[in-house]
Chains A and B, each alone.
Chain A
Amino acid sequence: MTKKRAIKSIVFVVLLLIVGILLAFCKIDIPFTTSTYNGFINSIKLGLDVSGGVTAVYDARLADENSGIDLETAIESTKNRLESILAERGYTEATITTQQGNRIRVEVPDVEDPQEVFDLIGNPAMLSFKTTEDPNAESVITASDISNVEYDIQDGEHGVVLDFTSEGRQKFSDLTEELSASNGSVYVYLGTELFTTLTVQEHITDGSTFISGNMDTRTEAEEFALRIMSGTFSAELSLYESSVVSATLGMNAISTGLIAAIVGLILIFIFMAFMYRTFGLMADIALMFYVILVLFFLQAIPLVQLTLPGIAGIILSLGMAVDANIIIFERIKDEYKRGKRIPASVKGGFKRATAAILDSNITTLMVCVVLYLLGTGAIKGFAITLFIGIVVSMFTAIFVTRWLINICLAFNSTKETHYNLYREEGVNEVA
């Protein structure tokens, strides 16, 4: 890098850093509008443990007295179902508990509209399929055979897609096989009311079907999907009480956590600058970019909700970001000790460190993916923040730090004390 280009780069880095810090931390009133820009850090969704949320307690009673299951089992299955519905709508950190044996307590963090959560459960409708147009006839497929309901639009018609459980899929397959021969009809009932009639044209084996009719808008269809979904609960729920709650970690969790994070970062910055001089300072700037980028992704990715485990994921990835820099600088020291000049040592150090950094980060990323796919609630959140943190840390450690160091080398590529490099006596410089 020539000096001229290096100076341009410095201006660019400084500008980038200033803009980054402003975007990340500052609250700015946007001129000529009433809206405010909040900065990344204030836009991150927080979990129940750090920010509080809403709590609703529901009385549960058996939806179907004749189903042969007891209340406890019904509540257990309803809890599982509720959990997956909430997770699907983005409330991955919701917690559901049994209270007093016959109540379900739902706690949902950081919601903009508590009503939306209550609506999920509010107005259940039991869907069933019958083969005759008689509301009292036995249902071939009942609500418990449905695993998921989602809004869909087909041929310009708003409707919902029903996914069946494995049991339901078999029943539906049998039903359509029998009826497709004669182009027979399936009567879809909501409770005791005939909702629509489906004409079966083919044998359906993939365990899902589209239902439309009487739904004029997307909102209507989505509401309908919710009603059917809550109709599949084996316990019928009615609201007992609801309230807005503060952080479960305690009122001061966020402020003390932030102070600790800032002081911790500053100490790490000082340590790096002291141990590695110019290299350390460049690593510190790269770490600032790391912080800005992580904050950006945390608020930009919709599924992220910051909880205590999520914070652990960030600390772990921050540790790995610092670690990557330490590995690189130690390698540069080694290369220099062996007699290389500073620029060659830097090049060699980065080259040799990259394999180690990649291997350790890739294994951790694999763990993240597995945790995300298999984990529940908070574990998922942990996996996402760790994944973001590691990808960003690889980028800043390998590319940003290197770029910054190359800028420095353009001004000073010979003074070893500035980089805290040294050779033992008797080691000759090699080309």
Chain B
Amino acid sequence: MKSLRFFDKVEHTKFDFVKHAWKFALVSLTIFAVGIIVWIACGLNLGLDFTGGSIVKVQIGAQLDESGAYNEYSQEIEDVFNEYGITISQMQKEDSGEQAAISVRFQDLDGYSAEQMSELVTGEITTALTQALNPDGTNMSFQVQESQRIGATASSNLLSSAILAILISAVLILIYIAIRFELLSGLATLVTIVHDVLIVFALVAICRIEINSTFVAAIITVIGYSINNTIIIFDRVRENMNNEKVAANGANYVVQVSVRQTLIRSLYTTFTTLLAIALLAIIGVSSIQIFLMPIIFGLIAGAYSSIFLAPALWAVMLKNYTDRMKLKGKPVKLSILNRKKKEDKKSADVVETTVAQ
């Protein structure tokens, strides 16, 4: 049991999550700033899905069907392309028997026009491929077919519809949270979502991670985690605001208590989810890694923002709001504050047990 007392310490931390929140906000802002600078200076590393490129079919023949042959041949092809500084975006086995081939897709080299690229591929690279894969000319099926231009697969349709879907979702989330919680929690949730997505963009720009059409799905996954984390914390805030004993100490105290109470859950959940994803990222093929990196960034950013930023933001907004209303001499109309009396009876048992502590 002793070993678990560590978690008790975590739970009873004296750390003031509202007072120190600006420091964490500063960390995020720094990451945004670096991200924007890198973005402007070097651009984003857009993948084949967005830029298009070339496709070349290397016909190998029946030998390719033997077990292990694909890995061997594809490795050799990759080596040849790498020698010319070309990173292969995608390799596929096509057909079987005499027709069996490996199709290779890649982006244009920087500064090369489409013609120069095609010249390079049909000239030097074809010769190099032939030398590497069929040096003595015994493989009659071997043939490097002429390279063809291939357009972007990520249609503008995909992006615009995804952005529209995200915006509409944001409005729905705001409405739902405003009804189930109150408006300020909804706003804080939205800000947190935007924060997490921006952090992911910044880190992806900084780490030069390739952006493909699956990136859209990664971003939406990040949004999913973000909502989940933030709602769990605001659920505690809601509950504690309804608990007279806790609420009497003010919004900052409520946030303090709520974050502490959900801290273990945040750590455990982030840990288990990271475990599953990191494993896939470590042993998975490179395209899976490219896909999972933004999700891993987002998972960490989501845990971070739901602990250090969202609740503090809520407390600050609540204070601003009540101050402004007091100045104007208007009553403070927030369901979370006015519901208190009604639910006091319901939470009576909580009050009782808190006393027992």
Cβ distance B232 to chain A, nearest Cβ, rounded Å? 5
Question: Is there contact, CB below 8 Å, between B176 and A367?
Answer: no
8 Å CB interface, B138-176 against A: 148-153, 155, 157-158, 161-162, 164-165, 168-169, 172-173, 176
Contacts A327-B265, A374-B164; A97 near B169 (Cβ below 8 A): no
CB-defined contacts of B218 to chain A, threshold 8 Å: 309, 312
CB contact under 8 A between A427 and B357, given known A259-B283, A316-B221, A327-B232: yes
Interface assignment of A36: CB less than 8 Å from any CB of chain B: no
B15 beta carbon closer than 8 Å to chain A: no
Across the interface, name the chain A residue whose C-beta is closest to B278.
A264
Binding-face segment, B85-93, B202-210, B248-256, B331-339: B85-93
Does chain B have a CB within 8 A of A352?
Answer: yes
Q: Are A319 and B269 in contact (CB under 8 A)?
A: yes
- Tell me whether A26 is interfacial, beta carbon within 8 Å: no
Asked whether, in the complex, the Cβ of B285 is within 8 Å of the Cβ of A256, the reply is yes
Q: Does A154 contact B (CB under 8 A)?
A: no
Contact yes or no, A360 B227, CB < 8 A: yes
Q: Do residues A356 and B356 form an inter-chain contact, with CB atoms below 8 A? A: no
Among A244, A251, A352, contact of B94 (Cβ-Cβ < 8 Å) = A244
**Cβ-closest chain A residue relative to B55:** A99
Expressed in whole angstroms, the Cα–Cα distance for A52 and B268 within the complex equals: 37
Query: B187 near A: Cβ within 8 Å?
Result: no
Residue of B nearest to A314 (CB): B276
Question: Is A164 engaged at the interface, CB distance under 8 Å to the other chain?
Answer: no
Asked if B357 and A378 make an inter-chain contact with CB atoms under 8 angstroms apart, the answer reads: no
Contact A377 B158 (CB under 8 A): yes
Q: Which residues of B contact A243 (CB under 8 A)?
A: 94-95, 99, 101
* Residue of A with least CB distance to B103: A245
Listed stretches A62-70, A169-177, A267-275; interface member: A267-275
B224: min CB distance to chain A, Å: 5
Collect the chain A residues with CB atoms within 8 Å of residue B173's CB: 363, 366-367
Known: A253-B288, A319-B269. A378 touches B221 (CB 8 A): no
**B264 proximal to A (CB < 8 A):** yes
The answer to whether A97 and B151 have CB atoms under 8 Å apart is: yes
Q: Which of B228, B231, B271 contacts A271 (CB 8 A)?
A: B271
* Contacts known (A264-B276, A308-B214); A382 close to B356, Cβ less than 8 A: no
Within 8 A of A (CB), among B24-63: 55
From B181, B232, B288, contact of A249 by CB (8 A): B288
Q: Are A249 and B287 in contact (CB under 8 A)?
A: yes
Q: Which of A252, A268, A309, A364 contacts B217 (CB 8 A)?
A: A309
When distances are taken between beta carbons in the complex, the residues of chain B under 8 Å from A373 are: 165
B231:A360 contact, CB within 8 angstroms: yes
CB-CB nearest in chain B for A268 = B272
Q: Is the CB of A100 within 8 A of B149?
A: yes
What chain B residues lie within 8 Å of A97 (beta carbons)? 150-153
Task: Provide the residues of chain B in CB contact with A417, threshold 8 Å.
Answer: 1
Per the bound structure, the CA–CA distance linking A96 and B152 in Å amounts to: 9
Complex contacts, A244 vs chain B, CB 8 Å: 94-96
Residue of A nearest to B105 (CB): A248
Task: Give the residues in chain A near B99, CB-CB below 8 Å.
Answer: 243
**Is A182 part of the contact surface with B, judged by Cβ < 8 Å?**
no
CA distance A40 to B283 in the complex (A): 25
User: In whole angstroms, how far apart are the Cα atoms of A248 and B47 in the complex?
Assistant: 14
Residues of B within 8 A of A337 (CB): 357
Contact check, B165 vs A379: say whether CB atoms are below 8 A apart.
yes
Determine if A308 and B92 form an interchain contact, defined as CB atoms under 8 angstroms apart: no
Q: Are B275 and A253 in contact (CB under 8 A)?
A: no
Among B180, B218, B235, find the residue whose CB has the most chain A CB atoms closer than 10 A.
B235
Q: Is A320 an interface residue (CB 8 A)?
A: yes
**Nearest chain B CB to A364's CB is how many angstroms away?**
5
Distance, CA A420 to CA B4, complexed state (A): 9
Which chain B residues border A99 with CB–CB below 8 Å? 55, 148-151
B113 part of interface (Cβ distance < 8 Å):
no
Q: Which of A251, A259, A386, A424 is the one whose CB lies under 8 Å from B71?
A: A251
Decide yes or no whether A18 CB sits under 8 A from chain B. Answer: no
Which residues of the partner chain A approach B228 to less than 8 Å between Cβ atoms? 320, 323, 360, 364
Minimum distance in angstroms from B33 CB to a CB of chain A: 29
Whether B357 contacts A367 by the Cβ 8 Å rule is no
Nearest CB on B from A72, distance (A): 11
Q: A428 on the interface (CB 8 Å rule)?
A: yes
Kindly list chain A residues whose C-beta atoms are within 8 Å of the C-beta of B177: 359, 363
Q: A370 an interface residue at 8 Å Cβ cutoff? A: yes
CB of B227 within 8 A of CB of A364, answer yes
Nearest CB in chain B to that of A352: its residue: B239
* Cβ contact of A375, chosen from B93, B161, B292, cutoff 8 A: B161
CB distance from A283 to the nearest CB of B (A): 11
Q: Is B123 an interface residue (CB 8 A)?
A: no
Please name all residues of chain B whose beta carbon is closer than 8 Å to the beta carbon of A49 when the two chains form the complex. 287
- A246 CB contact (under 8 Å) in B93, B152, B216: B93
User: Nearest CB to that of B280 among chain A residues?
Assistant: A260
Are A366 and B169 interface neighbours, CB within 8 A? Answer: yes
B295 within 8 A of A: yes
Inter-chain CA distance A250–B75, complex, in Å, is: 12
Chain A neighbourhood of B236, CB < 8 A: 356
Contacts of A376 in B (CB 8 A): 155, 157-158, 161
A334 at the interface (CB under 8 A from B): yes
Q: Are A248 and B90 in contact (CB under 8 A)?
A: yes
Query: What mask results when residues 207 to 251 of chain A are scored 1 for a CB within 8 Å of chain B, else 0?
Result: 000000000000000000000000000000000000111111111
The reply to whether B279 and A264 contact each other, CB–CB distance below 8 Å, is yes
Task: State which of A96, A103, A257 has its C-beta within 8 Å of the C-beta of B288.
Answer: A257
Residues of A within 8 A of B96 (CB): 244
Q: Are B176 and A371 in contact (CB under 8 A)?
A: no
Is B225 interfacial (CB-CB < 8 Å)?
Answer: yes
Nearest residue in B to A327 (C-beta to C-beta)? Answer: B265
- 22 example contacts (A-B, Cβ-Cβ < 8 A) are as follows A245-B103, A246-B70, A248-B287, A250-B285, A253-B287, A256-B288, A260-B284, A308-B214, A312-B292, A313-B217, A315-B280, A334-B261, A338-B354, A359-B177, A359-B231, A360-B235, A363-B176, A366-B176, A371-B165, A375-B165, A379-B158, A430-B353
| A-B CB proximity, top 8 nearest | A309-B217, A98-B151, A338-B353, A319-B273, A264-B276, A356-B235, A246-B93, A260-B280
Contacts A249-B285, A312-B221 given; 6 further ones with Cβ under 8 A?
A: A99-B151, A245-B93, A245-B94, A308-B287, A319-B273, A366-B169
